[in-house]
Amino acid sequence: MSTLDLFEGLHTPTQAMEPLAQQACVLRGFALPFVEAVLPALAHICEVAPFRHMVTPGGFSMSVALTNCGHLGWTSDRSGYRYSPIDPTSGQPWPELPSAFLALATAAAKAAGFPDFVPDACLINQYQPGSRMSLHQDKDEHDYTWPIISVSLGIPATFLFGGHHRADKPQRVPLFHGDVVVWGGKDRLRYHGVAPIKEALHSVMGAQRINFTFRKAG
């Protein structure tokens, strides 16, 4: 039996799906059955490729700390945003995508109507109280036909899910430990972000929110 087989059947009921748009939804609590396997894998990734605050092309330090795993990792510096197979801090390849991460991502994608999705990149964001993410589109990937799978662990956040123009007023979607947001297809290039994180304490994760965003980048 493969490692992925051990996760077969781990999912939440279909009534836990909350639509956000035609091809976008929140899967409430979907990640909870995977957490026990995901957290040790996350700890290993952070040992090999610690969280860091990257610099934007405009020269500003991001309020959200990040790291990556998978074949490609998302990076930012004064020269721009891009994916790279090499961690610029260590000069080494990013850690491999753990089987528990892969199982979670593919199961969530399938539940949301994207059964063929297999990620090659996972951007891991660490939010602390006061951290935020401004509205943006995920446009550094080569093929926009694949969805984005976003997993929330830890303290609550307010996800901002907008339209196809920056000026469109976004929905304010509360996200909690174990929730997964999936958007793709006609909704793949919607603007999205995260409102400033409020002070809180989670019994497992402490005073932080960890967010995995799984992508097909290459």
Query: Within a domain: residue 7?
Result: no
Query: Within a domain: residue 13?
Result: no
Strand partners, 148: 183
Query: Within a domain: residue 77?
Result: yes
Query: Within a domain: residue 9?
Result: no
How far from chain centre, in Å, is Cα 81?
Answer: 17
Query: Within a domain: residue 6?
Result: no
Burial (Cβ within 10 Å: 0-12, 13-18, ≥19) of residue 48: middle
Pairing of strands 80-84, 24-27: unpaired
Closest CA to 129 of 67, 195, 177: 195
Burial (Cβ within 10 Å: 0-12, 13-18, ≥19) of residue 156: middle
List strand residue ranges (DSSP E) for 44-188, in order.
65-70, 73-77, 80-84, 121-127, 133-136, 148-154, 157-161, 171-175, 180-183
Compute φ and ψ for 106, nearest 5 degrees: -70, -35
Residue 210: CATH number of its domain = 2.60.120.590
Closest CA to 115 of 3, 11, 6, 193: 11
Query: Within a domain: residue 93?
Result: yes
* DSSP secondary structure code for residue 96 in this structure: P
Cβ pair 23, 184 in contact under 8 A? yes
Residues sharing a CB contact under 8 Å with residue 47, sequence separation 6 or more, in sequence order: none
Q: Structurally, how many domains does the chain consist of? A: 1
Give percent above pLDDT 90 in the chain: 90
pLDDT at 218: 92
Query: Within a domain: residue 15?
Result: no
Specify the pTM.
0.93
pLDDT digits (tens, 9 = 90+) for 186-197: 999 999 999 999
Walk along the chain (218 residues) and give the pLDDT tens digit of each residue: 444 444 555 554 445 899 999 999 999 999 999 999 999 999 999 999 999 999 999 998 999 999 999 999 999 999 999 999 999 999 999 999 999 999 999 999 999 999 999 999 999 999 999 999 999 999 999 999 999 999 999 999 999 999 999 999 999 999 999 999 999 999 999 999 999 999 999 999 999 999 999 999 99
Sign of CA dihedral 178, 50, 70, 61: positive
Residues sharing a CB contact under 8 Å with residue 129, sequence separation 6 or more, in sequence order: 155, 197, 198, 199, 200, 207
DSSP 139-166: --SS-TTS-EEEEEEES-EEEEE--SST
Q: Which domain range does residue 164 map to?
A: 20-215
pLDDT at 81: 94
